[in-house]
């Protein structure tokens, strides 16, 4: 049991509460934690907090799924064929370095402030880490395994599916985790500057309305959502691919 690890956050929150209450920390818009907790109830009944969480979660997951599918297809093609790698990697490198946040205005301009725009821009931003990890995971398959497969005269598809992809699984999983985080961030950003729905819009609306307690609630919701999605993904991966990922973590 990590006692200091539990004590420090409690102390920090306690200090925040105390310092605001006794007017040592005097930012105009810094509410004490207890007020933030008290604001949750009002938001659930009056501002559809649950609906916002569901909207943002659903869009982020949908965009993530699209990104995974596209990235798996392209990443496999690049990882398996050195010629494809040579002829396309530089383009991918250029498009990957393009900061995703700069794309949000472009997509909003082309598709308008819609759910479709959120999904497109989040999927685009999220697919790169996944694509790179699939490609380099396949390229990094241990040569000895490939030799064994050749000795056993396995078909090319067999080699890819039962040998190379499993060998790349830990790397692909970490790519998928990165992609999920990016997807959520970009969805929230798109909601903040474009499509006025979900948690991102909630943050901006409460900021404009100068209701810091409510804004803090939405901000913490986004932070918790990121942690929860990440934990859920890790758990699912452990449960469904436990045979592949035993060596992933000590």
Partner 1 sequence: MRLPGTRRRPRSGRPLFPPLVGLAPLALVLLLWQLFGDPDSVNFPPPGEWVEATKAVQDRDLLLPALEQTLAVFAVALVLAAVIGAAAGTLLGASAFARDAFGPVAEFLRNFPPPAAVPVAVLLLGDTLTMSLIVIVGTAVWPIILNTEEAVRAIPHVRINAGRALGLSRPRQITTLIVPGVLPAVMIGVRVATPICLIVVLLAEMLASTGGVGHLILERQRMYDSAGVFACLAIVGVLGLLTSATVGGLERVMLRNWPPSHAEGKST
List residues binding partner 1 (CB under 8 A): 2-9, 12, 27, 29-30, 85-95, 97-106, 108-110, 181, 184-185, 188-189, 192-193, 200, 203-204, 207, 212, 215-216, 218-219, 222-223, 226-227, 230
Taking the least distance from each CB to partner 1, the nearer of 159 and 222 is 222
In the complex, what is the shortest distance from the CB of residue 90 to partner 1, in angstroms, rounded to a whole number? 3
For the CB of residue 135, give the shortest distance to partner 1 in the complex, in Å: 11
Residues 162-190 as b/e (b if ≥16 CB within 10 A, e otherwise) read ebbbbbbbbbbbebbbbbbbbbbbbbbbb
* Nearer to partner 1 among residue 34 and residue 84 (C-beta): 84
Give the shortest CB-89-to-partner 1 separation in angstroms.
Answer: 4
Nearer residue to partner 1 within complex by CB, 108 or 169: 108
CB of 30 or CB of 44, closer to partner 1: 30
> Nearest Cα to 52, choosing from 181, 143, 187, 234?
187
Distance of alpha carbon 118 from alpha carbon 103, whole angstroms: 11
- Whole-number minimum distance, CB 242 to partner 1, in Å? 24
Cα–Cα distance for residue pair 68/131, rounded to 1 Å: 8
Alpha-carbon gap, residue 214 to 31, rounded angstroms: 10
| Sign for the pseudo-dihedral over CA of 172, 178, 182, 183 | positive
Neighbouring C-beta atoms of residue 6, cutoff 10 Å = 10
Complex with partner 1: residue 12 or 50, whichever CB lies closer: 12
Note whether 188 and 56 are within 8 A (CB): yes
Minimum CB distance to partner 1, residue 192 (Å): 6
């Amino acid at each position: 049991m990590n006692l200091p690890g539990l004590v420090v956050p409690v102390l920090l929150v306690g200090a925040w509460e105390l310092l605001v209450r006794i007017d040592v920390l005097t930012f105009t818009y810094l509410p004490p934690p207890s007020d933030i907790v008290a604001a949750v109830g009002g938001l659930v009944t009056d501002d559809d907090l649950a609906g916002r969480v569901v909207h943002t979660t659903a869009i982020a997951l949908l965009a993530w799924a699209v990104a995974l599918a596209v990235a798996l297809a392209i990443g496999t093609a690049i990882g398996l064929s050195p010629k494809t790698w040579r002829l396309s990697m530089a383009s991918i490198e250029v498009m990957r370095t393009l900061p995703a946040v700069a794309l949000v205005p472009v997509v909003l301009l082309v598709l308008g402030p819609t759910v479709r725009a959120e999904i497109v821009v989040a999927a685009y931003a999220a697919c790169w880490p996944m694509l790179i990890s699939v490609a380099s995971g396949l390229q990094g398959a241990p040569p000895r395994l490939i030799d064994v497969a050749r000795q056993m005269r396995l078909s090319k598809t067999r080699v890819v599916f039962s040998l190379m992809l499993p060998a790349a699984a830990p790397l692909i999983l970490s790519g998928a985790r990165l992609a999920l985080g990016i997807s959520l961030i970009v969805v929230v950003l798109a909601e903040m500057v474009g499509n006025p729905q979900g948690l991102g819009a909630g943050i901006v609306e409460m900021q404009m309305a100068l209701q810091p307690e409510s804004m803090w609630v939405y901000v913490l919701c986004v932070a918790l959502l990121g942690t929860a999605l990440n934990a859920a993904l890790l758990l699912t991966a452990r449960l469904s691919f436990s045979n592949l990922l035993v060596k992933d973590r000590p």
